[in-house]
Amino acid sequence: MQSRRNVELSLLIIALALTVGAHVIVGLSHDNRIPLTVVAYGTTMAALFIGAHLVLRWRAPQADPVLLPSAALLNGLGLVMIQRLDLEEPAGAAQAPSQALWTTFGFIVFAAVIVLIKDYRRLDGYPFTWLLAGAMLLLSPLLPGIGKEIRGARLWLDFGFATFQPAEAAKIALAIFFAAYLRENRELLATGTYRVGRVLLPQVKYFLPLLLAWMVSLLVLFYERDLGSSLLFFGMFIALLYIATGRSSYSVVGLVLFAFGAVVAYNTFGHVKVRVQGWLDPLKYFDNNTGYQLSQSLFAMGTGGIPGTGWGQGHPDLIPIASSDFIFAAFGEELGLVGVTGILLVFLIMVFRGFRIALTANDEFGKLLASGLIGVFALQVFVIVGGVTKLIPLTGLTLPFMSQGGSSLLANYALIALLLRVSAESAPTPVDDLGLDAEERPEAPEAAVSP
């Protein structure tokens, strides 16, 4: 599969050129000279990109050739934007050095997953261990002493020397559990034995995981006040239920349950009501901070228009927390509609390749695992971009690979590495990469197919 790795290397070189070029442009726009850090920045990013490529060439030569370059490009551009925002901050408040360090750790985690997990099917053997780990991580911010509340949401662990957002790691653990559980119980869940009106439901004991996932999502929503993570995990489970069973009734019941929980949260918790009010009419609540952040986001993207103001020529620093929650709006101002459309297309390509991996996986667990991982990734992108553009209420999630934050980077590099491990085991033939028609391809071994 040298052709796949050669394609990946070519794409990585393009990603490196774009990120280093953006770094140079930001320096030129700031003080009309090429930044002195360009050599160090370019060398470091090249070492990380090529290092990850060599690990894949060594341990997973058949892996998908597009996911790593896409992640590297998004990570590099996000790092450049964080550096650009640092130029408007006082000395000592720079976030780019920390993000660069987390980027290095992210590539180390990526390489570790590829090297250590030789066969992803072994993850299938410990479903309830993954459930316990995921639940503990998800609920750990409720622990006294180390649990920390930031901006109304209790979703951080503070160890003094560093803070950690455990929900990012929990999404991977729970995706593995859901895949393992649904692989084992898919047929039982797909077979209805009780009729409620016109809907056939399975036995109650097989329906309990849906209720359990709902209850956990409500705990996160009510006690951690984290609307984003609650939506993310419950949405991932409902999507996997549909993929595994092919029954739309699960999706309908799940949406009804989540809507009920959201209504209760709106009428119970003030911070949820504030977010909804700020979403419906941000300008009305501009002066009391309820709608200030979203208003500034919309102003920034409106200022950028179609072509954007250009790197370093806008004022994204006027957006509160622009480097994390609202980095998409910062790109919208300086790169315009053209730039953010390109970014969204990269995300779309990653989602497409992820579901392609799920379709070509040789076993049921691999199909469900890849679907769950790329599904939660796609849902996270939709939720954060939808919140920043006023499509849905703000949730406080980070944009994968681009937003400032070490927890998100580490988790998403592990997620991409798992997807690549699944793709490497699906043993595609070289002609698949050439885009040949089905009749021109050699026959592949049959794989289990979900109904």
Would you place residue 433 in the very low, low, confident or very high pLDDT band (cuts 50, 70, 90)? very low
Q: What would the pLDDT profile of 172-199 be if each residue is shown by its tens digit?
A: 998 998 899 888 877 767 666 666 666 6
What pLDDT does 427 receive? 56
Q: How many CB atoms lie within 10 A of CB 138?
A: 26
Instruction: Kindly state the average pLDDT of the residues 134-156.
Output: 75
Output the pTM of the full model. 0.88
Would you place residue 8 in the very low, low, confident or very high pLDDT band (cuts 50, 70, 90)? very high
Instruction: Kindly state the average pLDDT of the residues 225-238.
Output: 76
> With 80 as the cut, is the pLDDT of residue 288 above it?
no
> With 90 as the cut, is the pLDDT of residue 329 above it?
yes
What pLDDT does 222 receive? 67
> With 80 as the cut, is the pLDDT of residue 77 above it?
yes
Of 9-13, 223-227, 317-321, highest mean pLDDT: 9-13
Task: Enumerate long-range contacts of 116-124, CB under 8 Å, 24 or more apart.
Answer: 117/417, 117/418, 117/421, 118/59, 119/425, 120/365, 120/366, 120/369, 120/418, 120/421, 120/422, 120/425, 121/363, 121/365, 121/366, 121/425, 123/176, 123/180, 123/365, 123/369, 124/179, 124/180, 124/183, 124/365
> With 60 as the cut, is the pLDDT of residue 447 above it?
no
Poorest-confidence range of 21-35, 41-55, 280-294?
280-294
Round to whole Å and give the CA distance between 92 and 229. Answer: 31
Round to whole Å and give the CA distance between 67 and 8. Answer: 9
Please report, for the chain, the start and end positions of each structural domain, with discontinuous segments joined by +: 2-440
Q: Strands 147-150 and 163-164: what pairing?
A: unpaired
> With 60 as the cut, is the pLDDT of residue 309 above it?
yes
> With 60 as the cut, is the pLDDT of residue 375 above it?
yes
Round to whole Å and give the CA distance between 4 and 12. Answer: 12
